[in-house]
Structure 1
């Protein structure tokens, strides 16, 4: 099929204001304070929120730094973890990293409080061995403060910090990687999640006085078993069990357990088929448990009434609401985001006997971010939900991008996305479908791609592309651009190879070229995931890997699933980007594809744009860098291939 190109050499890309985000949200034990990190591009600051007011008020600490002693100022970076204490002070735990973002193996803890002129003053402690870490403070007064540090994948350490005396003392080393944290009393015993190198997780109880630990919640050697929340009145624990990742597949079981009170109970309302609920926190009375649930592209909040085993939805606007959460009195605080709203602190109210009021976001810096719609598109095996930027006439926009998520067991969520915002600001319509393999739509939709990567999901993508591209062709509009990151980049490349006439361009961010090649080349955790999800039957050694990894993979699912073998059919312009420090998908995959395309006659700079950035996997897949994001938007604006074939010729 013939086509013509109608693009400018260097289309103008509109500038965006700085991209804001919030992360590392934490609450004080008493629920009066919250703290988080706020970033606009690379400028990171520390925030504290006063939750005792009717509308939470925010204070920014120290312009992104905390003072740690005379003449010293230590920047708060993306690796820091804040914790507010009940008296309003803040603890900040910061693992050190080198210039490339690699953990340096040590870190600091800083105690800070509001000072004159909006700065912060405090004291710091040096931690000689730490890859990651966080602080926990007990309920009650005085508060017991502990520091949990991960020294390597085989060992963690617990420290006790006395803010009164300034002493930081090691308590004990614990095998595995520790995470989470629920106090089982007012300061002597706490529960943590202990994960081993093979991804098993158990709930353990740590006795600070006896300097001992014991396993208290463990189902099987293959399960991830966690202690999530505790009711302070009765001591009841909310626990979960399931295979790793079960919270995304809807296979997580939720139980309630009173230590010393017999077996764990699994209430029916918390474990309904396909529920996919995740427990967050108890209310003050212990009678209610707050949960989040993924429902398609949005998340819902629900309240479980323990007395009658009933789940009631909380009225929240469409978006993504999730952990961590705090429930004090009639107010629930948690993290919330929507397509037009960067992540922020949100509040839900529960007036007595009056039901639930919608979430109200806390005061924030306003910006004219684009909103999106949830649209149901016809797929070959049933409806496909998609997030769409571009308004009700999105199909008529001159430029349109079909964006494919990573995973494969993942999904686009109805939340703020900087790359989509930049595309929309440039006038580009964005269609982000949750094709088969996406989470949040039930087991049948999810499991369709297990053992069949690039099968049903590719069928969905090509079906959607035909439904979008053919009417555009009749109207003289360019075909869409297919864009994806990680697994979505692999799928985008397959779509460009198997439907070459459907696209005016393909943008692949950190792709792999075949499941077999990824299994051969990737680090052990990724290799385990490929073995479980890519091969029929979940075998551990994909067929064909003994014959050559990246260059010659594809045996398990056929040559049609190997981009290196199929790319001779690719005719659309290609943008290929990868991070040189990608810790998930080796950059060798993109380099091999570039080399193969040059062998086939592609010319770099004319139909093939290749970008390597000095960064890791997530930064490239999400196009964090403004330079990379601008390159993607410019590519999508320049890709204007319009097929010469019309409806009369079909």
Structure 2
């Protein structure tokens, strides 16, 4: 699948350089179906995985500690079946395990199923990818000096399985379809970064995805498989800007003025809006703990105060409710939900402006016929 998006006519030429702003990692990672979430709880050298159950009438958390505390750079990912995948750097390898609560006569315990490891070669960076939309399995991206490898680390036939090798250094990671087959990565090559589509069902065949301008950096930040909505960051307008397009559409990428937000990162998009990308709600992290809501059809951004203790992630329901998990000393596991506010009506413009009404002439000054 290939989508080559042009630049909207009003945009300027591409800038010479474009460094992406650092994307803050959410403290709480939500599963693909929104039923579970996971995070590293605790502080300092006493960290442990914690699983949140979000699919019931009330959210609740279950700690999953093991004999040894976890390192601060360990990653966790909640799976659709309630297990928690953990990625650890251990000596000369990257280890992956599944954690789950296990009842015992002496009290609750944590079960661990070791999945295997990937060698930690010099200069190799390994991180977990977002969960695929079908909820089946989990993947990791290993970035080396000249190539990037996609590993299936859970849900396969055995241990970690190499499913794709992409020439160049890749970042990002966005799923384009509901089956977990098409993965978008931002590939750096020849001094430019372009989003490409990797077909995991065909052995990792790579095809172009974004090509807004020949000398622009075009990154994919978020996608809604149901509607085809794409959230993009590109310097094609002359500076790095947030824009949106539609997967498979011939219409150009648009860069709304209302999305000129400093340090803004989209983190959730409304599902279920089949063939209606303009109606999808989008949630963005703005600055240090700020929150913004936007919808393409409204052309207006709502700046909101995030709830106290917000953990930086969330998910939309198909009916347009945004659920935001938070943790405070008084409420260690909570979720607040809100709806997309109604956008103000656009200003009424009359072009050309109406001519001024003629001044009434007093009767005694009126010409007589």
Question: Do the aligned residues in 1 keep the contact of 2:263 with 2:286 (CA within 8 Å)?
Answer: yes
In structure 2, the gaps of 5 or more residues are 1-24, 274-279, 344-369
Q: Tell me how far apart the structure 2 counterparts of residues 346 and 226 of structure 1 sit (CA, whole Å).
A: 33
Q: Which residue pairs with 1:327 in the alignment? A: 316
Q: Which residue pairs with 1:128 in the alignment? A: 119
Q: Which residue pairs with 2:63 in the alignment? A: 60
Relative contact order, higher structure (CA 8 A, sep 6+): 2
Question: Do the aligned residues in 1 keep the contact of 2:28 with 2:311 (CA within 8 Å)?
Answer: no
Q: Tell me how far apart the structure 2 counterparts of residues 82 and 132 of structure 1 sit (CA, whole Å).
A: 13
What is the CA deviation profile of residues 265-307 of structure 1, one whole-angstrom value per residue up to 9, with x for unaligned ones? 32525434x655332211234421112223xxx5431211222
The answer to which of 26-35 and 218-227 deviates more is: 218-227
Question: Do the aligned residues in 2 keep the contact of 1:33 with 1:49 (CA within 8 Å)?
Answer: yes
Q: Tell me how far apart the structure 2 counterparts of residues 218 and 333 of structure 1 sit (CA, whole Å).
A: 34
What is the CA deviation profile of residues 293-334 of structure 1, one whole-angstrom value per residue up to 9, with x for unaligned ones? 23xxx54312112223222233435x7967443223624225
Q: CA distance change for structure 1 residues 306 and 220 in 2, over 3 Å: closer, same or farther?
A: closer
Q: CA distance change for structure 1 residues 164 and 278 in 2, over 3 Å: closer, same or farther?
A: closer
Q: CA deviation at 1:125?
A: 0.6
Q: Which residue pairs with 1:268 in the alignment? A: 256
Q: Tell me how far apart the structure 2 counterparts of residues 241 and 326 of structure 1 sit (CA, whole Å).
A: 25
Question: Do the aligned residues in 2 keep the contact of 1:239 with 1:255 (CA within 8 Å)?
Answer: yes
In structure 1, the gaps of 5 or more residues are 1-21, 66-74, 98-103, 244-250, 356-650
* TM-score normalised by length of structure 1: 0.41
Q: Which residue pairs with 2:48 in the alignment? A: 45
Q: CA distance change for structure 1 residues 124 and 140 in 2, over 3 Å: closer, same or farther?
A: closer
Alignment pair present for 1:159 and 2:147: no
Question: Do the aligned residues in 2 keep the contact of 1:229 with 1:282 (CA within 8 Å)?
Answer: yes
Q: Which residue pairs with 1:231 in the alignment? A: 224
Q: CA distance change for structure 1 residues 79 and 224 in 2, over 3 Å: closer, same or farther?
A: farther
Q: Which residue pairs with 1:259 in the alignment? A: 247
Q: Which residue pairs with 1:509 in the alignment? A: none
What is the CA deviation profile of residues 581-624 of structure 1, one whole-angstrom value per residue up to 9, with x for unaligned ones? xxxxxxxxxxxxxxxxxxxxxxxxxxxxxxxxxxxxxxxxxxxx
Q: Residue 183 of structure 1 is aligned with which of 151, 172, 175?
A: 175
Q: Which residue pairs with 1:284 in the alignment? A: 271
Q: Tell me how far apart the structure 2 counterparts of residues 218 and 204 of structure 1 sit (CA, whole Å).
A: 9
Q: CA deviation at 1:160?
A: 2.6
Bigger share in helix: 1
RMSD: 3.6
What is the CA deviation profile of residues 224-245 of structure 1, one whole-angstrom value per residue up to 9, with x for unaligned ones? 43211112321211111249xx
Q: Tell me how far apart the structure 1 counterparts of residues 297 and 342 of structure 2 sit (CA, whole Å).
A: 20
Aligned residue pairs total 300
Task: Specify the SS of the correspondent of 2:297.
Answer: coil
Alignment pair present for 1:350 and 2:338: yes
Q: Which residue pairs with 1:293 in the alignment? A: 286
* TM-score normalised by length of structure 2: 0.69
Q: CA distance change for structure 1 residues 353 and 148 in 2, over 3 Å: closer, same or farther?
A: closer
Q: CA deviation at 1:157?
A: 0.8
Q: Which residue pairs with 1:87 in the alignment? A: 81
Question: Do the aligned residues in 1 keep the contact of 2:46 with 2:70 (CA within 8 Å)?
Answer: no
Question: Do the aligned residues in 2 keep the contact of 1:153 with 1:197 (CA within 8 Å)?
Answer: no
What is the CA deviation profile of residues 367-386 of structure 1, one whole-angstrom value per residue up to 9, with x for unaligned ones? xxxxxxxxxxxxxxxxxxxx
Q: CA deviation at 1:124?
A: 2.3
Q: CA deviation at 1:172?
A: 2.5
Bigger share in strand: 2
Q: Residue 138 of structure 2 is aligned with which of 125, 138, 145?
A: 145
Q: Tell me how far apart the structure 2 counterparts of residues 42 and 28 of structure 1 sit (CA, whole Å).
A: 26
